[in-house]
Structure 1
């Protein structure tokens, strides 16, 4: 439901989430586990992958690790693996996600017979989605009240009122976040939005591939009008696309939108009126439920200004056509099959290259997670999150923080004044593991087994009203922004919190039966990655309390920027597709997170070795080699061309092969572990390697 949500990538990109991108098929377990290294806790049972946590058969040992470490670690798997027709990618992430889907299917099935009201809502919601016969029988009737509302818009005031209504798209979104100047209080925030295709590049880039996307988008708009029984679809499509192109021209680029200094623009209502008077901010905020907001952070200021001018220049009837199309598009999946398939054919098949729809029950689980995620998550945690996982994660996080603290104390490029502030921020990090302390109360969310589209609109309304109910109060640090069953991890710069949901605390990321080197190279590096976001090119601008404040001396900031600039230049040279390079500026924070996380995890692993003794060689691999191989296998994936293109244009994470190769070639210990020499393709002379943390 991308179009229902506030398009504030400027804020969301700061969260530093580690995404679910792809998946792979687990191999059969190999021989019984070898003896663990002296001093390590005894492992109980068999690791999921191989005999000590690595899938050694996935490697291509004919590849020199110094030429292509990603393929050395995963080449045989890459050659043998086909992406399933219902996926745009495939990797270990997807294997784990499919395991969790089976667990969630049991939960939602049981929920249908539960006496608990929240669980019954889960069952009813899922049943409404699975009732294909009922959806077909109702046809387009569920659309009519919403389209009639749009048709009845007679002036700009009514247009803005519809923009402000949850469930409808708006070219400028208004939401709620902790205040960048005082994260203990909430504030309103406004930013660019309103596009149908993934981002501005799909409207503005030149080339046959982008012409194809634009032509297919026009066909899709015409098709939705035809299915909805709206006449003159072709002319409407031309006007809608022309409007969206002008919106795209006003939009900031993704890399500019992640610059906290550029997007942190708190404004009074009077200042907002000077910026974009067309939005009539006093009334607009009141209708959005934010009449008490004294200031609004205007993120992409010139985009808001440019979109405001479009309200003057574009006829009201065109805006109404735009609203009607976007409402149908937003809810197409919850209408008869023809709508659902039309949306799949454009967004998934044409844009991302996915060949067929996923099974309906699997897609339904995603909707339940979106609408009632914590109701499902409470049961998931009870059934699938052992207390021992929390204990071991606590230990790993402690080791990572200690290792990073030691590195901070010895950095030669950071002066003592900045170092003291950095250590204070590290000390104030708050780790959150498994699940939230308090759960969302869904009592006010109405679910009707016979009204799927209405359930989705009410989900948008419930989510927004939940935010509004929190707005007058101090920020509650116990709240989570992701469900415990998700495979993800995040850093929140405004709260200085790192979060590791229960879903990711499973193999291959975390396996209590794996060799320590494997866990440090996998979940250890993920932990380090999230800690590192507090000190990346944008996270470093937040102080220990989460407030935006420059706590760096000019000298330390200059030396930091010199290093990150060189890292960005490295990544900008990588070309996953001909003529399409990684955007080193857009991916900067995640690349810093990957490199710094791997450095932290390696330092923590060596602390572990110092405590327990040098580990044995297993299957010809030293502990250090197993550590780096674990990192490389976590990211093994295959992705369709369209999905790769979309990722490069829109995603702050680099493609997975560069998350591996781009990081290891900057780490001295990797060179020693695999005897990488100047004759190898990934070799960088020591003076060209980027060392940040």
Structure 2
């Protein structure tokens, strides 16, 4: 069962990690500076390259650690949360004995121990996979394959079709079953189509990687890498691109489940769903043409190839929980080749992160209690309302939107809800059986638990209180179906939120992030949802045309930025996040300006006035060093622009930036008024 992805975060989940001055439990009261002057590189001009000016010094002092593919504000804070704070919590629990069976403490301790028990993992070898491998080997027909792949999906093994459960986009109060395309090991169609040398090299490395993994596993098939790559290339050609997947209207095709089954007569979708315990009268299909073309592909592909592909998906899914040789080869390809990470984290650090990934909410309960004071929750609530007020004022001043649509926009803005810090109600994990010497089975148990939790939601009312990030996560998100913004405790720390810093720093940091998430409700996708979270048009035709014209100009603007030689930013893929960044900065700036009304002008700090410190704070949040491999991967797969472009990209469109830094004619980051884009 796949997890729904129609939630827009400030950062891609695959990148989650963060940046601020290091803080340990021994110096928890240490005041973190609002902005480190040593981060500045004055050999650059602020008006020509603001990222290099504001962050050049930081970048020189902070090379990418060997265990990372990128290193920035998000990474540092994530490391602090996991490898200091969570580590302390987990190791304290793990050091104790006689935990009550089924308790969260017992689950945390025993899972952590099972991950660290490498002797047992090596001794068991691939024996945990044998029951699943035997089922694949026994497949004699496409009908058999449908049953086996359906059963495997319960454990998180990918296939060519994926199911997930989420709120019905046209009836946000009820959960519905969705179907989506799946099954590409390289993650995105462009990896199978691009002809540049770096992408060709990735495909060549992938072919060798599959060969090596089959060899290490003792599988006897000849040329498995070529077989898998050839099949996935054909699969990629019939899938929607990541840009096409952004169209919520075209990818919403609700139909009777009986009609859904008819789209792939060669592949028994009823058996596929039945093995996943899925019972539904209706389903929302992503792309009917994909399913029809998939039917043709599966019929024309010899069964031994489909079995080999399924065996590959099983092996790659669990590689990180198998003996060291397989684990390391999996790391070599997906981390080193794909993202440029030079070395794997120490086993203890990986154990902490794996425990967090499996039991994030039970750990989040302990994390929140220890590291998120209640007064911060109150302060963030006040900031959110401040942004809401300013957004309303901005809507009133729009010249491109009619009064009737403005009224609907205000209705949606007023209906925004928010969650801060941690859930009011915690999910019960006692049904998961965890043993201290059975890592593989522990992962299976957790996967089956999550699958069952999803299946139980089909046709039931949406739980508006549910969280889709753990409290310790360094991120935030907007959920269009709930029309809500969510800020976990993990991100409400420096440099995003710093209770000791001046207002300009916090407005350029956390309030710009808050504004970013608000703006997601009105970006190219979020604007398709009404105040109740339903996919429903609330625009006049003329207003929508005006909005689309503005976003098209912004798409073209970002598409002209070359992040690496031969790799330009995909403006169409990143438009939602780029609009949210531009909106977030605008809202935060005017919220700050509004907060200063009737007060004395703040005095400069370290030689910078409040306007300059606002923009320095934004740059500080996004400072980042990135490997070329990770950058290429991000450009092809990630709806977020690279960090440098997130800093520099919006600035030429903000007259406030030009005024703050006294940018003169001829400055590289200045645009004429006619070229500036103001959306919200």
TM-score bracket relative to the smaller structure: over 0.9
Matches within 5 A, 1:171-320: 171-234=160-223, 236-291=224-279, 293-320=280-307
Matches within 5 A, 1:622-637: 622-637=609-624
CA deviation profile, 1:241-292 (whole Å, cap 9, x unmatched): 211111111111111111112211112224324433333333333332222x
SS state at 1:261 partner: coil
Task: Find the partner of 1:143 among 101, 104, 129.
Answer: 129
SS state at 2:504 partner: helix
Give the whole-Å Cα distance in 1 for the aligned partners of 2:115 and 2:47: 50
Give the equivalent residue in structure 2 for 1:73.
54
CA deviation profile, 1:27-81 (whole Å, cap 9, x unmatched): 89xxxxxxxxxxxxxxx976412xxx01111011221111011111111122333
| Aligned: 1:64 with 2:45 | yes
Check the 8 A contact 2:9/2:475 in 1, yes or no. no
Give the equivalent residue in structure 1 for 2:106.
120
Give the whole-Å Cα distance in 2 for the aligned partners of 1:480 and 1:27: 28
Give the equivalent residue in structure 2 for 1:35.
none
Give the equivalent residue in structure 2 for 1:84.
65
Give the equivalent residue in structure 2 for 1:363.
350
Give the equivalent residue in structure 2 for 1:55.
36
SS state at 1:176 partner: strand
CA deviation profile, 1:148-206 (whole Å, cap 9, x unmatched): 12111222222111222212321110111111111111111001100111211221211
Task: Find the partner of 1:111 among 93, 101, 105.
Answer: 93
Give the equivalent residue in structure 2 for 1:153.
139
Check the 8 A contact 2:612/2:661 in 1, yes or no. yes
Give the equivalent residue in structure 2 for 1:492.
479
Q: How many correspondences in the alignment? A: 666
The CA deviation at 1:90 is 0.8
TM-score, length basis structure 2: 0.95
Check the 8 A contact 2:22/2:80 in 1, yes or no. no
The CA deviation at 1:25 is 7.0
Check the 8 A contact 1:374/1:483 in 2, yes or no. yes
The CA deviation at 1:487 is 0.4
CA deviation profile, 1:548-583 (whole Å, cap 9, x unmatched): 000000111111111111111110011111011000
Check the 8 A contact 1:418/1:556 in 2, yes or no. yes
Check the 8 A contact 2:507/2:592 in 1, yes or no. yes
SS state at 1:576 partner: strand
Give the whole-Å Cα distance in 1 for the aligned partners of 2:222 and 2:663: 60
Q: Compared with structure 1, are the counterparts of its residues 45 and 371 closer, same or farther at alpha carbon in structure 2 (3 Å cutoff)?
A: closer
Task: Find the partner of 2:594 among 607, 610, 627.
Answer: 607
Check the 8 A contact 1:371/1:459 in 2, yes or no. yes
Matches within 5 A, 1:631-650: 631-650=618-637
The CA deviation at 1:690 is 0.5
Give the whole-Å Cα distance in 2 for the aligned partners of 1:577 and 1:301: 36
**Structure 1 runs not aligned, ≥5 long:** 29-43
Give the whole-Å Cα distance in 2 for the aligned partners of 1:404 and 1:177: 29
SS state at 1:508 partner: coil
The CA deviation at 1:678 is 2.4
Give the equivalent residue in structure 2 for 1:129.
115
The CA deviation at 1:145 is 1.5
The CA deviation at 1:611 is 4.8
CA deviation profile, 1:95-143 (whole Å, cap 9, x unmatched): 1112112110111112232746112101111110011111111112112
Give the whole-Å Cα distance in 1 for the aligned partners of 2:368 and 2:22: 27
Check the 8 A contact 1:171/1:193 in 2, yes or no. yes
SS state at 1:682 partner: coil
Check the 8 A contact 1:89/1:637 in 2, yes or no. yes
Task: Find the partner of 1:170 among 140, 159, 162.
Answer: 159
Check the 8 A contact 2:73/2:624 in 1, yes or no. yes
Q: Compared with structure 1, are the counterparts of its residues 46 and 133 closer, same or farther at alpha carbon in structure 2 (3 Å cutoff)?
A: closer
Check the 8 A contact 1:27/1:55 in 2, yes or no. no
TM-score, length basis structure 1: 0.93
Give the equivalent residue in structure 2 for 1:34.
none
CA deviation profile, 1:412-446 (whole Å, cap 9, x unmatched): 11111110111010111111000111111111111
Give the whole-Å Cα distance in 1 for the aligned partners of 2:633 and 2:663: 33
| Aligned: 1:528 with 2:510 | no
| Aligned: 1:26 with 2:25 | no
Check the 8 A contact 1:678/1:684 in 2, yes or no. no
Check the 8 A contact 2:22/2:76 in 1, yes or no. no
Give the equivalent residue in structure 2 for 1:653.
640
SS state at 2:573 partner: coil
